Copies of this chain bind each other. A is one copy, B any other.
Amino acid sequence: MSDVDKVIAAVSEERLWQRVLTMAAFGGTAKGGVNRQAASAEDAAAQNQLMAWGAARGFASFRDEIGNLFIRRDGEDATAAPIVIGSHLDSQPTGGKFDGAYGVLAAFEVLEAIADAGIATQRPIEVVSWTNEEGSRFTPGAMGSGVFAGSYRLDTTLETKDRSGLKLGDELAQVAVRAPAPFRAMADMRPAAYLEAHIEQGPLLEAAGIPIGIVGGIQGIRRFSVDLTGEEAHAGTTPRRLRKDALVAAIDAITTLNREADAVGEALRFTVGTFAVSPSSPNTVPGAVRFSIDLRHPDDATLSAFDQTIGATVEAVARAHGCPGRVERISRVLPTTFDPRVIALLRESAALLQYQYLELMSGAGHDAMHLAKICPAAMVFIPCLKGISHNEGESATAGDVVAGARVLAVATTRLTAR
């Protein structure tokens, strides 16, 4: 029996599923979801649980300057760069059991399965839980991995405040008190490779009836805020032709942009998620509207082209309605392309396990997008019910959960030997 076969045999569906349920109790909600926001008491309790499981197997734990937590199984070559696998334990305020936690627990299952199989890997393996992936308490998300990979500065990131004015740095100090772990400077560890398992958070795998998604990369994301300014007027006395109705102008712009987005094709994700009217009175013609645009595509050039379409459309609508318009680009995240060799390894792993797989792009951002800047990285997706995520009703099957862990186990075992 090869090492890989031993590891596959050692991956336990029962153990992994129980760990998912146990972890879901930290911040568990009445509706079956999870409220375990970054650097909260619940987050600390979840980290303590993970470290306790690790300690029971003799694995060491470390925490770095931004609160990222690592559980390490040593390799034969103590000086070799580790294979890092994991995701995040923090959740949305009304999040589910699987987003993030699944990737950490699948990684921990890999660590245990390799230990159970009695395999001495060449490289060390580390399971990671990155700080504040969700970005709902502290903005932006994927903060821990972003600082680790050098995308964000440590000092300014620690100063970030939540809505009630609490500083991330102070809250992380509380986590260190509640869930103590030895400090290890982030400079002291560079991954040899990074793998992350996650629920798809989209409908494609479930619709296709396929258990494994191999992720080619992460869409680029641009966020915009659009303002249109008209003139408030009395709804009863002002003939429609004399109005400068900001709402009428805004829906004209959005209608045009919806049509343009559909023309680009399905890979373009165009969403207006917020739409605020001022003064928001039933009998006043709206004097101002502000709406958001969330725009995603795997190709940055396509995003740039649509960026221009947004500007041109708002300008044309503003002129036609006599309502001055302004488009502000709030953020721009470049698309991520994962490492072709790691992707090939994931294909081989799924094939070895005789799992059907779909190659897809991630519509959501993940910690892997930062890690891909500093080491070969890729991701494995599993289906989730109706593609629903960031929702207490988030759900996945035990069969899919263990399938993803097995693909991760095979790929990790092979990576440690390289």
Interface of A with B (CB < 8 Å)?
Answer: 92-94, 134-136, 139, 141, 200-203, 219, 221, 223, 231-242, 245, 247-248, 251-252, 254-255, 258, 261-262, 266, 269-287, 292-294, 296, 362-365, 387-391
Give the distance in Å from the alpha carbon of A292 to the alpha carbon of B285 in the complex: 11
Contact A389 B233 (CB under 8 A): yes
- Which B residues are in CB contact (< 8 Å) with A271? 235, 245, 282-285
Contact B364 A237 (CB under 8 A): yes
- Which B residues are in CB contact (< 8 Å) with A258? 248
Contact B284 A273 (CB under 8 A): yes
Given A221-B236, A238-B202, A239-B269, do A283 and B294 touch, yes or no (CB 8 Å)? yes
Contact B292 A282 (CB under 8 A): yes
- Which B residues are in CB contact (< 8 Å) with A252? 255
Measured CB to CB, the closest approach of chain B to A382, in angstroms, equals 14
- Which B residues are in CB contact (< 8 Å) with A254? 247-248, 251
- Which B residues are in CB contact (< 8 Å) with A203? 237-239, 242
Contact B236 A279 (CB under 8 A): no
Contact A93 B279 (CB under 8 A): yes
Contact B275 A283 (CB under 8 A): no
Measured CB to CB, the closest approach of chain B to A390, in angstroms, equals 4
Contact B363 A232 (CB under 8 A): no
Measured CB to CB, the closest approach of chain B to A114, in angstroms, equals 31
Give the distance in Å from the alpha carbon of A184 to the alpha carbon of B42 in the complex: 57
Quick one: which of A252, A254, A284, A365 has the most chain B CB within 10 A?
A: A284
- Which B residues are in CB contact (< 8 Å) with A282? 135-136, 139, 223, 271, 273-274, 292-294
6 contacts between A and B (CB under 8 A): A94-B232, A202-B236, A232-B388, A232-B390, A234-B390, A284-B391
Contact A92 B387 (CB under 8 A): no
- Which B residues are in CB contact (< 8 Å) with A232? 94, 388, 390-391
Give the distance in Å from the alpha carbon of A64 to the alpha carbon of B274 in the complex: 42
Contact A237 B284 (CB under 8 A): no
Give the distance in Å from the alpha carbon of A279 to the alpha carbon of B234 in the complex: 29
> Which of B234, B247, B273 lies in contact with A235, CB distance below 8 A?
B273
- Which B residues are in CB contact (< 8 Å) with A237? 200-203, 269, 362-364, 387, 389
Contact B201 A269 (CB under 8 A): no
Contact A270 B240 (CB under 8 A): yes
Residue of B with least CB distance to A273: B282
Given A254-B251, A279-B93, do A365 and B272 touch, yes or no (CB 8 Å)? no
Contact A281 B277 (CB under 8 A): no
- Which B residues are in CB contact (< 8 Å) with A389? 233-234, 237
Given A262-B240, A294-B282, do A234 and B139 touch, yes or no (CB 8 Å)? no
- Which B residues are in CB contact (< 8 Å) with A238? 202-203, 269, 363, 387
Contact A275 B275 (CB under 8 A): yes
Measured CB to CB, the closest approach of chain B to A206, in angstroms, equals 11
Measured CB to CB, the closest approach of chain B to A388, in angstroms, equals 6
Given A269-B236, A275-B247, do A283 and B242 touch, yes or no (CB 8 Å)? no
Contact B235 A294 (CB under 8 A): yes
Given A240-B270, A254-B251, A269-B239, do A233 and B281 touch, yes or no (CB 8 Å)? no
